[in-house]
A and B are shown apart, each in its own frame.
Chain A
């Protein structure tokens, strides 16, 4: 906006008779240059204004607690609104309900066994030779939460002198991946799940670049799953040459189930549930325990919390 206000003043300024230094010929060409610059500024303002507006979805721009000292957790659930939602139901799953799906992971309990990873690979038809998994386990040094010193490819099993941080798509309330996709091939559903449209993705991989959690993965090779292990409830061939990522097992959770990783965890480190329901386990944990989020300072508002 302010760019537009500046424009006429810039373009007009050479016409103000000032201390006589500039020869007339120069004045004219400088005015033309400034017109050009003004046009650039206007073009950019025109392009950027809608971008900025749509980056502030719904009430997201409101202050921390709209109800004035009200429940901060309710405010978080409230901010978790759809983004770029095309309003049509997703394939392979029921339409979204009124829930706001979130997850809490107990890092004190997690032993780094990676059973969640394998359960997820099986459940979601992740190509066995694709070289990625939705869930990534970081082996953390005691005394630090610095992921830059963590180890991703640690040996199988997990060690008692380390601690483990499972990372997957955080279903962010302000999903930078969704903001970055040029064709709206990925969006956030009303129940908070960030989904992919495999039939629309143009394979530009900008979402990989914009996601701060390394949660998005490209099918560089055709996803291969042994015939007898294919899960018919989840797409497979459609994913070739496109992006995929954790979607909170939308095919299960919208049918009343829980996620495959939650089910597989031997120590119950994962709790999945509806944040809009005050009696759900996740709501109770968030209200009573000290929780934290990964890279919270970036403002993506991840919907996976850690406790422990």
Chain B
């Protein structure tokens, strides 16, 4: 399309410069009817969601399907899910700086934008769920250090700010590679911290046998990374499809290898947890009874697909003959993004299925109000991404990519030289220390 050249060459005539960023207002104004149809759909969904939220605030939680036996519902599933997607995408971006994974540099702005938007969606989920949300200021005034909620909530807020600041730094190029590097050093630990504390909200509960397991934290981290990479891959394909950004085939190939690796670790950890719960010498009645529900109706209908989708996604990405095909990569990524959502849902719902007094309660299924609110949040996220795709310079300039690719080649030559002279290498390492 014609936009292709204006997007990443000379600034378009309708560009407005504000806070150091060239906002391509023209791109938004001259967008086609399909774009505006999509935007109107999103706005309608947001409007419906706002009405649902208003009804909830006015009438109380009775409109939700949650009850004392299921105190958390769809919003918490989404909180875990969005936080994970966000942290995972960021890991890809960070690997550019940490491991010199230059092939992912074209993704950097998209990854950081997506990370920020997803955490924002996670936070909106909390706010729209709390019937007394205006009292949330108490979290700052009298935070309780023994509540995991305080950590995950504050981490999500700080992380969102970091992501948006980082995006600004990446687009404006202020501070150069050095500042971008420093931001990675802040953002990545924070992503890990955010996701660890989110897992803690579930796992640090002696009252809930199913979750009270240390392996929850690594499972959360691997699920997050896998689904985050998968979503980033999908976004990249979409951006490419609409000529907003362009990527090399090899970049997708690298990304899918990374995805396959993380998926298998994720499945492995899940397998370890299942084994330690059911093995006769380790079988813990409370824990096994709850975990067993994963494999029985009705929860089995949701959980067994998690395993099937996960294994198939891995198989697709591991197959030598077809793994370079975009359709295969996209299918596998989509499968894992769905699998992780189902996994988050079962994990949350199953923890509540048998309440602390040993009573089995009918499965939770979100009410219309809950679904509308969740769709509203999704629509807000999509709206921001769609508008950003039009007005923000998300494509990393070729010049920047080439510069670093060049450096990379130079560095590799240096390493090769080091291998050739082991003595010299040792000397230089000692010097560095």
15 contacts between A and B (CB under 8 A): A17-B426, A17-B430, A20-B422, A32-B97, A51-B145, A147-B358, A152-B359, A182-B147, A183-B142, A202-B138, A203-B61, A206-B149, A214-B68, A214-B356, A242-B132
Distance A44 CA – B221 CA, assembled complex (angstroms)? 15
Residues of A with C-beta under 8 A to B401: none
- Does the CB pair A24–B432 fall under 8 Å? yes
- Does the CB pair A51–B146 fall under 8 Å? yes
Distance A202 CA – B135 CA, assembled complex (angstroms)? 6
Given the known inter-chain contacts A40-B189, A44-B193, A202-B135, please indicate yes or no for A183 contacting B144, CB distance below 8 A: yes
Question: Which chain A residue has the least Cβ–Cβ distance from B361?
Answer: A152
| Complex interface: stretch among A62-70, A103-111, A218-226, A229-237 | A218-226
The verdict on A281 contacting chain B, using a C-beta distance below 8 Å, is no
- Does the CB pair B149–A241 fall under 8 Å? no
Distance A222 CA – B415 CA, assembled complex (angstroms)? 70
Q: How far is the CB of B362 from chain A (nearest CB, A)?
A: 12
The verdict on B319 contacting chain A, using a C-beta distance below 8 Å, is no
Q: How many contacts between A and B, using CB within 8 angstroms?
A: 192
Residues of A with C-beta under 8 A to B149: 180, 182, 204, 206
The proximity string for B residues 121-146 relative to A, scoring 1 for CB distances below 8 Å and 0 otherwise, is 00000100011110110110011111
The verdict on A43 contacting chain B, using a C-beta distance below 8 Å, is yes
Among all A-B residue pairs, the 9 with the closest Cβ atoms: A15-B433, A148-B358, A212-B207, A183-B138, A23-B415, A40-B189, A241-B131, A147-B358, A205-B71
Distance A26 CA – B184 CA, assembled complex (angstroms)? 17
Distance A47 CA – B6 CA, assembled complex (angstroms)? 48
The verdict on B34 contacting chain A, using a C-beta distance below 8 Å, is no
- Does the CB pair A221–B62 fall under 8 Å? yes
Tell me the residues in window 77-101 of chain B with beta carbons closer than 8 Å to chain A beta carbons.
97-100
Question: Which chain A residue has the least Cβ–Cβ distance from B289?
Answer: A148
- Does the CB pair A20–B147 fall under 8 Å? no
The verdict on B220 contacting chain A, using a C-beta distance below 8 Å, is no
Given the known inter-chain contacts A16-B433, A212-B206, please indicate yes or no for A24 contacting B414, CB distance below 8 A: yes
- Does the CB pair A132–B62 fall under 8 Å? no
Residues of A within 8 A of B (CB): 15-17, 20, 23-27, 29, 32-33, 35-37, 39-40, 43-44, 47, 50-51, 54-55, 84, 131-132, 136, 138, 146-150, 152, 167, 176, 179-185, 200-206, 208-214, 216-222, 240-242, 298-299
Distance A23 CA – B100 CA, assembled complex (angstroms)? 13
Distance A219 CA – B132 CA, assembled complex (angstroms)? 12
Distance A167 CA – B97 CA, assembled complex (angstroms)? 56
Distance A25 CA – B416 CA, assembled complex (angstroms)? 11
Given the known inter-chain contacts A40-B193, A218-B71, A241-B131, please indicate yes or no for A29 contacting B146, CB distance below 8 A: no
Distance A203 CA – B411 CA, assembled complex (angstroms)? 55
Q: How far is the CB of A271 from chain B (nearest CB, A)?
A: 23
The verdict on B282 contacting chain A, using a C-beta distance below 8 Å, is no
Residues of A with C-beta under 8 A to B426: 17, 20
- Does the CB pair B135–A136 fall under 8 Å? no
- Does the CB pair B130–A209 fall under 8 Å? no
Q: How large is the interface on B (under 10, 10 to 19, 20 to 34, 35 or more residues)?
A: 35 or more
The verdict on B428 contacting chain A, using a C-beta distance below 8 Å, is yes
Residues of A with C-beta under 8 A to B190: 43
- Does the CB pair A200–B135 fall under 8 Å? yes
Residues of A with C-beta under 8 A to B126: 204
Tell me the residues in window 235-262 of chain B with beta carbons closer than 8 Å to chain A beta carbons.
none
Residues of B with C-beta under 8 A to A298: 206-207
The proximity string for B residues 201-212 relative to A, scoring 1 for CB distances below 8 Å and 0 otherwise, is 100011110000
Give which listed residue, A40, A47, A54, A220, contacts B151 with CB less than 8 A: A47
- Does the CB pair A44–B196 fall under 8 Å? yes
Give which listed residue, A15, A35, A50, contacts B432 with CB less than 8 A: A15
Given the known inter-chain contacts A180-B146, A202-B133, A214-B355, please indicate yes or no for A24 contacting B429, CB distance below 8 A: yes
Residues of A with C-beta under 8 A to B143: 182-184
Given the known inter-chain contacts A221-B60, A241-B61, please indicate yes or no for A183 contacting B135, CB distance below 8 A: yes
- Does the CB pair B68–A25 fall under 8 Å? no
Residues of B with C-beta under 8 A to A200: 135, 138
- Does the CB pair A17–B429 fall under 8 Å? yes
The proximity string for B residues 13-36 relative to A, scoring 1 for CB distances below 8 Å and 0 otherwise, is 000000000000000000000000
Q: How far is the CB of A210 from chain B (nearest CB, A)?
A: 6
The verdict on B12 contacting chain A, using a C-beta distance below 8 Å, is no
The verdict on B384 contacting chain A, using a C-beta distance below 8 Å, is no
- Does the CB pair A222–B60 fall under 8 Å? yes
Q: How far is the CB of A3 from chain B (nearest CB, A)?
A: 13
The verdict on B297 contacting chain A, using a C-beta distance below 8 Å, is no
Residues of A with C-beta under 8 A to B98: 29, 32-33, 36
Given the known inter-chain contacts A183-B144, A210-B205, A211-B356, please indicate yes or no for A37 contacting B132, CB distance below 8 A: no
Question: Which chain B residue has the least Cβ–Cβ distance from A167?
Answer: B357
Residues of A with C-beta under 8 A to B132: 201-203, 241-242
Question: Which chain A residue has the least Cβ–Cβ distance from B191?
Answer: A40
Tell me the residues in window 188-231 of chain B with beta carbons closer than 8 Å to chain A beta carbons.
188-190, 192-193, 196-197, 201, 205-208
Distance A272 CA – B430 CA, assembled complex (angstroms)? 73
Give which listed residue, B189, B354, B429, contacts A27 with CB less than 8 A: B429
Distance A185 CA – B356 CA, assembled complex (angstroms)? 22
- Does the CB pair B61–A212 fall under 8 Å? no
Residues of B with C-beta under 8 A to A183: 135-136, 138-139, 142-144
Residues of B with C-beta under 8 A to A20: 422, 425-426, 429
Residues of B with C-beta under 8 A to A150: 357-359
Distance A220 CA – B148 CA, assembled complex (angstroms)? 24
The verdict on B419 contacting chain A, using a C-beta distance below 8 Å, is yes
Question: Which chain B residue has the least Cβ–Cβ distance from A84?
Answer: B144
Distance A17 CA – B432 CA, assembled complex (angstroms)? 10
Give which listed residue, A33, A184, A242, contacts B144 with CB less than 8 A: A184
Distance A44 CA – B356 CA, assembled complex (angstroms)? 29
Given the known inter-chain contacts A202-B132, A204-B149, A210-B207, please indicate yes or no for A182 contacting B139, CB distance below 8 A: yes
Residues of A with C-beta under 8 A to B334: none
